[in-house]
């Protein structure tokens, strides 16, 4: 490459909370040539004032101004169009999760990206949480033997996510913007595959059961049958007044448990009958995993790493989430075809 990753021009498309976070973190990582793209003038000007980014109303203007990397951080329903626009213009791509609200158009995006050799990462910040990384490393090393089952949970009171804004106006509460707990908490479905391999079938109950004013499901209970034969239980909700994010793996020789709030990963060894604790690094805070995610993306742009979740993997996570919604709507078990493998990408 003639240009190092930090000296390229980065366009962040969507200047809400996550877009602003990425702008801040990119600047902290030494990426000073930034563009804040948002049709809402107040949003882009606020982001520009805080981060020094060039404020522009649309991605086309950013691409014309020399942006060669696009980070798509719009509401989910608005991901596909700018992602495809960026790829067709020759830009590399970072897309917030989930990749889209449906599979329609994704094969076109993936085909364009693969033909052009686009470097593309679908956001998966939990894969950069030290506790979850520790759990995966222990499981991969055989600390609990063959993994037989998983219990995964995420729950948080939706109105408390952004106390200064009305939750009813946000994307999470609105189906047309890609809201609903299943798509919103797709992180859990993504890292379930990361830990246990591909999913073969899905069953789900999901509904709007609370008094929250939204037109999406606010709770989901999802069963996953993995290709390995393992069975997973995934609970997701917008309802819990105390934040909960945990993962438990049950193996033939022990148990692993990660607790986001407690800040530790626990290992139970059946041979010793004892628990061992692996705490998060001292002083670790939530933004560190978003920084690590962008550091990984910069390494990918420098051809020093392969994306931990490319477009095909992001499509598969979405396919599983949509299968859960179909199962809940139709009262059926949804069986999935094997995931298509991504072709090998040649280094520049």
Buried b (16+ CB within 10 A) or exposed e, 199-233: bebbbbebebeeebebebbbbbbbbbbbeeebebe
CA distance 207 to 219: 6
Residues with Cβ < 8 Å from 277, sequence gap 6 or more?
Answer: 264, 265, 266
| Confidence band for 22, pLDDT divided at 50, 70 and 90 | very high
With beta carbons less than 8 A apart as the criterion, state whether 105 and 44 touch: no
Q: What is the mean pLDDT of the chain?
A: 95
Tell the CATH topology of 7-125+291-309.
Rossmann fold (3.40.50)
With beta carbons less than 8 A apart as the criterion, state whether 96 and 73 touch: yes
pLDDT of residue 178: 86
pLDDT of residue 344: 59
| Confidence band for 171, pLDDT divided at 50, 70 and 90 | confident
Residues with Cβ < 8 Å from 228, sequence gap 6 or more?
Answer: 147, 196, 197
Domain spanning 126-282+318-335: which CATH class is it, in words?
alpha beta
| Confidence band for 345, pLDDT divided at 50, 70 and 90 | low
- Mean predicted confidence (pLDDT) in 186-191: 98
* Domain ranges for the chain: 7-125+291-309, 126-282+318-335
Between 7 and 347, whose confidence is greater? Answer: 7
pLDDT at 115 over 50: yes
- Mean predicted confidence (pLDDT) in 162-191: 90
pLDDT digits (tens, 9 = 90+) for 203-225: 999 999 999 999 999 999 999 99
Between 233 and 347, whose confidence is greater? Answer: 233
182 class by beta-carbon count within 10 Å (0-12 exposed, 13-18 middle, 19+ buried): buried
pLDDT at 315 over 50: yes
CA distance 202 to 325: 10
CA distance 36 to 155: 31
């Amino acid at each position: 490459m003639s240009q190092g990753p930090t000296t390229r021009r980065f366009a962040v498309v969507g200047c809400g909370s996550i877009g602003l976070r990425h702008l801040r973190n990119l600047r902290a990582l030494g990426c000073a040539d930034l563009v804040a793209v948002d049709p809402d003038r107040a949003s882009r000007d606020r982001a520009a004032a805080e981060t020094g980014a060039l404020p522009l109303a649309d991605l086309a203007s950013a691409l014309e101004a020399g942006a060669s990397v696009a980070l798509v951080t719009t509401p989910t329903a608005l991901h596909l169009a700018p992602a495809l626009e960026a790829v067709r213009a020759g830009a590399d791509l970072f897309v917030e999760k989930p990749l889209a609200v449906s599979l329609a158009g994704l094969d076109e995006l993936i085909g364009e990206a693969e033909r052009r050799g686009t470097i593309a990462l679908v956001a998966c910040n939990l894969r950069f949480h030290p506790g979850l990384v520790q759990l995966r490393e222990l499981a991969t090393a055989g600390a609990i033997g063959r993994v037989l089952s998983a219990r995964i949970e995420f729950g948080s009171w939706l109105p408390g996510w952004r106390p200064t804004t009305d939750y009813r106006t946000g994307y999470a509460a609105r189906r047309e913007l890609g809201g609903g707990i299943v798509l919103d908490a797709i992180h859990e479905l993504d890292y379930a595959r990361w830990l246990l391999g591909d999913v073969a079938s899905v069953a789900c109950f999901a509904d709007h059961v609370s008094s929250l004013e939204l037109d999406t499901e606010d709770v989901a209970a999802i069963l996953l049958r993995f290709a390995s034969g393992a069975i997973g239980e995934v609970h997701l909700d917008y309802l819990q007044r105390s934040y909960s994010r945990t993962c438990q793996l049950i193996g033939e020789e022990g148990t692993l448990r990660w607790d986001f709030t407690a800040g530790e990963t626990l290992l139970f060894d059946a041979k010793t009958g004892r628990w061992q604790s692996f705490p998060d690094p001292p002083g670790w805070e939530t933004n560190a995993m978003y920084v690590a995610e962008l550091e990984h993306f910069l390494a990918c742009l420098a051809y020093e790493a392969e994306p931990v979740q490319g477009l095909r993997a992001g499509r598969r996570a979405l396919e599983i989430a949509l299968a859960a919604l179909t199962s809940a709507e139709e009262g059926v078990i949804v069986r999935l075809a094997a995931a298509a493998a991504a072709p090998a990408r040649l280094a520049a």
